[in-house]
């Protein structure tokens, strides 16, 4: 699954325990990064950032309980650029509801799981965004809802008044799946953050 251009290109890990990590790796490659699968703590070494993909957050938590992966992720997310999509956003949030669930707790947000209905209610919506270039296509699959955000969290896109793409310094989180659309703006933003060249990218959140 290693994609990308080699030397001088940021190496971005994609947590490859469960979920749609292959699509993220492709998207990162298209957006100008080298994507590296992360299955073990040692795979986090030397990365410029990490994507935690969508999937099933409870299953991700179970798989991460092996091999010291949860502890390694816990350390990584407090110092490094991380982009969580859907289940990945749930894992990053400080508080998870419906049901309450353990999380890495680094993103100052409360997230409700499966908040927009059942699988059949998943949707593709045009979403206005603060990113330059017009609305984003947003693919929602049993999406969580970001119900509360702290003052340090910037909203980059909304769905019916709920934040769906947020940034907290070096952290980026989406309740939708940008890797499933052709538009690479969100991945490019994360690569810029990871490379330290994002809009006002601070290393500390």
Which residue number, 55 or 163, has a Cβ lying nearer to ligand GLN?
A: 55
**Residue corresponding to tokens 């969100």:** 186
8 in Cβ contact with 20 (< 8 Å): no
112 is catalytic: no
Pair of tokens at residue 167: 């940034």
Tell me whether residue 57 is annotated as binding: yes
Distance of CA 122 to the CA centre of its chain: 18
Active site residue 179: yes
Which residue is catalytic, options 86, 89, 112, 187?
86
Query: Which residues lie across from 174 on neighbouring strands?
Result: 85, 165
Which is nearer to ligand GLN, 3 or 122 (by Cβ)? Answer: 122
Give the CA diameter of the chain.
44
**Residues contributing to the site for ligand GLN (CB under 6 A):** 54-57, 86-87, 90, 113-114, 141-142
Q: How far is the CB of 96 from ligand GLN (least distance, A)?
A: 9
Distance of CA 201 to the CA centre of its chain: 16
Instruction: Quote the least distance from Cβ 36 to ligand GLN, whole Å.
Output: 21
C-alpha span between 140 and 86 (Å, rounded): 8
At closest approach, how far in Å is the CB of 55 from ligand GLN? 5
If the CB atoms of residues 103 and 198 are measured against ligand GLN, the closer one turns out to be 103
89 a catalytic residue: no
SS3 137: strand
Q: Detail the residues annotated as belonging to a binding site for L-glutamine.
A: 55-57, 113, 141-142
Q: Detail the residues annotated as belonging to a binding site.
A: 55-57, 113, 141-142
Catalytic residues: 86, 177, 179
């Amino acid at each position: 699954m290693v994609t990308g251009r080699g030397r001088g290109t940021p190496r971005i890990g994609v947590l490859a325990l469960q979920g749609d990590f292959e699509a993220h790796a492709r998207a990162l490659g298209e957006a100008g990064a080298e994507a590296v699968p992360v299955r073990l703590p040692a795979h986090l070494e030397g990365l410029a950032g990490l994507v935690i993909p969508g999937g099933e957050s409870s299953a991700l938590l179970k798989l991460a309980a092996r091999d010291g992966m949860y502890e390694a992720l816990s350390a990584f997310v407090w110092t490094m650029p991380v982009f969580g999509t859907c289940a990945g956003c749930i894992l990053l949030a400080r508080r998870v509801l419906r049901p309450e669930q353990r999380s890495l707790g680094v993103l100052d947000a409360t997230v409700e799981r499966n908040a927009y209905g059942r699988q059949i209610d998943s949707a593709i919506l045009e979403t206005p965004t603060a990113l330059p270039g017009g609305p984003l296509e947003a693919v929602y699959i049993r999406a969580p809802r970001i119900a509360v955000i702290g003052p340090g969290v910037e909203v980059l896109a909304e769905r019916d008044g709920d934040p769906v793409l947020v940034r907290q310094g070096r952290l980026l989180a989406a309740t939708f799946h940008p890797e499933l659309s052709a538009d690479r703006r969100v991945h490019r933003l994360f690569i810029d953050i990871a490379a330290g060249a994002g809009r006002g990218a601070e290393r500390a959140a």
